A and B are shown apart, each in its own frame.
Chain A
Amino acid sequence: MTSVSMTVNGKPVSGDVEGRTLLSSFLRDGQGLTGTHVGCDTSQCGACVVHVNGQAVKSCTMFAAEAAGAEVTTIEGMANADGSLGTIQQAFQDYHGLQCGFCTPGMVMSAAALLAENPSPSEAEVRHYLEGNICRCTGYHNIVRAIMAASGQEVPAVAAE
Chain B
Amino acid sequence: MHNFELVTPNSVADAVSALSGEDAQPLGGGQTLIPTMKQRLAAPATLVSMGGIAEMVGVCVDDDGVMVIGGATTHAQVAADASASYPALAALAGQIGDPAVRNRGTIGGSLANNDPAACYPAGTLGSGATIVTNAREIAADDFFQGLFETALDEGEIITSVKFPIPEAANYQKMLQPASRFALTGVFVASFAGGVRVAVTGASNEGVHRWSAAEAALSANFSADAVPEAPSADDLISDLHGTPEYRANLVKVLTGRAVAAAG
A residues at B contact (CB < 8 Å): 18-20, 22, 41-44, 46, 49, 55-58, 60-63, 65-66, 110, 113-114, 129, 131-133
Q: Quick one: given A43-B34, A110-B99, are A61 and B104 in contact (CB under 8 Å)?
A: yes
Q: A18-B3, A131-B180 are in contact. List 18 more A-B contacts (CB 8 A).
A: A19-B47, A20-B4, A41-B39, A43-B101, A44-B179, A49-B100, A56-B103, A57-B103, A58-B100, A61-B30, A61-B34, A63-B6, A63-B30, A66-B6, A66-B30, A110-B100, A114-B99, A132-B180
Residues on A with C-beta less than 8 A from B3 are 18-20
**Beta-carbon nearest neighbor of B105 in chain A:** A61
The answer to whether B49 touches A56, judged by C-beta atoms less than 8 angstroms apart, is no
Is B201 an interface position by the 8 A CB rule? Answer: no
Is B55 an interface position by the 8 A CB rule? Answer: no
The answer to whether B100 touches A132, judged by C-beta atoms less than 8 angstroms apart, is yes
Smallest distance from the beta carbon of A92 to chain B beta carbons, Å?
A: 19
The answer to whether B35 touches A57, judged by C-beta atoms less than 8 angstroms apart, is no
Among A22, A62, A66, A129, point to the contact of B99 (Cβ < 8 A).
A129
**Beta-carbon nearest neighbor of A129 in chain B:** B99
Smallest distance from the beta carbon of A63 to chain B beta carbons, Å?
A: 6
**Beta-carbon nearest neighbor of B178 in chain A:** A44
**Beta-carbon nearest neighbor of B37 in chain A:** A20
The answer to whether A56 touches B99, judged by C-beta atoms less than 8 angstroms apart, is yes
* A-side interface mostly: mixed
Q: Which of B178-197 contact A (CB under 8 A)?
A: 179-180
Smallest distance from the beta carbon of B21 to chain A beta carbons, Å?
A: 14
**Beta-carbon nearest neighbor of A109 in chain B:** B100
Complex-state Cα separation, A53 to B4, whole angstroms = 26
Complex-state Cα separation, A58 to B29, whole angstroms = 11
The answer to whether B100 touches A66, judged by C-beta atoms less than 8 angstroms apart, is no
The answer to whether B4 touches A132, judged by C-beta atoms less than 8 angstroms apart, is no
Complex-state Cα separation, A63 to B31, whole angstroms = 11
The answer to whether A46 touches B4, judged by C-beta atoms less than 8 angstroms apart, is no
Q: Quick one: given A19-B4, A65-B6, are A132 and B101 in contact (CB under 8 Å)?
A: yes
Interface pairs (28), CB distance under 8 Å? A19-B4, A19-B6, A20-B37, A41-B38, A43-B31, A43-B34, A46-B98, A56-B103, A60-B34, A61-B30, A61-B34, A61-B35, A61-B100, A62-B104, A63-B30, A65-B8, A66-B6, A110-B99, A110-B100, A131-B98, A131-B99, A131-B180, A132-B97, A132-B98, A132-B99, A132-B100, A132-B101, A132-B180
Smallest distance from the beta carbon of A54 to chain B beta carbons, Å?
A: 10
Complex-state Cα separation, A55 to B37, whole angstroms = 24
**Beta-carbon nearest neighbor of A55 in chain B:** B103
Residues on B with C-beta less than 8 A from A113 are 99
Complex-state Cα separation, A114 to B49, whole angstroms = 28
Is B1 an interface position by the 8 A CB rule? Answer: yes
Report, nearest first, the 7 A-B pairs whose CB atoms are least far apart.
A132-B98, A19-B6, A131-B98, A55-B103, A19-B4, A20-B1, A58-B100
Complex-state Cα separation, A42 to B47, whole angstroms = 19
Smallest distance from the beta carbon of B11 to chain A beta carbons, Å?
A: 18
